Amino acid sequence: MSDEVKAEANSTMIRDTPESWEVIETKERFQGHIIRVVTDTVNMPRDEAAERDYVVHPGAVAVLALDGQDRVLMIRQYRHPTRHLLWELPAGIRDVAGEPLVAGAARELAEEAGYRADTWHTLVDLRTSPGMSDERIRVFLARDLTKIETDFVHRHEEIDMPVEWVPLADAVEKALMGMIHNSPAVAGILAAYAASAEGFAQLRPADAPEE
């Protein structure tokens, strides 16, 4: 087998795959407005059963909006658990039953930043903290942007939330320098920078299925 064929075979193996080990018992520890905390007793295939605590989360979507000057739209929001003002991408919880993910992303872009996008792609899918939560975030790339008027009323942390346009290359530098910490923002910025080298030709369509 040639080195090229071996490399291709090995690359196809590097892929997350579904797997579900037997759950002997589930105990609910907390029920909140958005999340639940549970403890599963999991039957380990080659060991004794073990308890695993985790957060059950509805999931979220985020939008890396890129304008014609290769600038990323970023917002700054107070995040109480971190005690920080974080620079982020427009994002929101998947809280509308049956809503396509890209439709939810378009709604968040309009509500949080006041923009509409005509071109959408799936940029990157994240499991934000798989050791303690089942949260999934899909980050979309949105282009061909138009400023729109919206009557959405911001509340709580979103009041007076600033919106800034950051050159993509500068955003990459800030992420690598530890100046941007929000995980979908960092992942989206780096993914967009990498994908731009191929003119975004390798990106999946906006309605690509989640695995």
59-97: b or e for each residue (b if 16 or more CB lie within 10 Å)? Answer: bbbbbbbbbeeebbbbbbbeeeeeeeeebbbbbbbbeee
d(CA 55, CA 39): 9
Q: Is 158 a catalytic residue?
A: yes
28, 51, 158, 210: which is the annotated catalytic residue?
158
Fill in the DSSP letter of residue 158.
G
Residue pair 150/110 in contact by the 8 Å Cβ criterion: yes
| 3 alpha carbon, distance to own chain's centre | 35
- Which residues are designated catalytic? 158
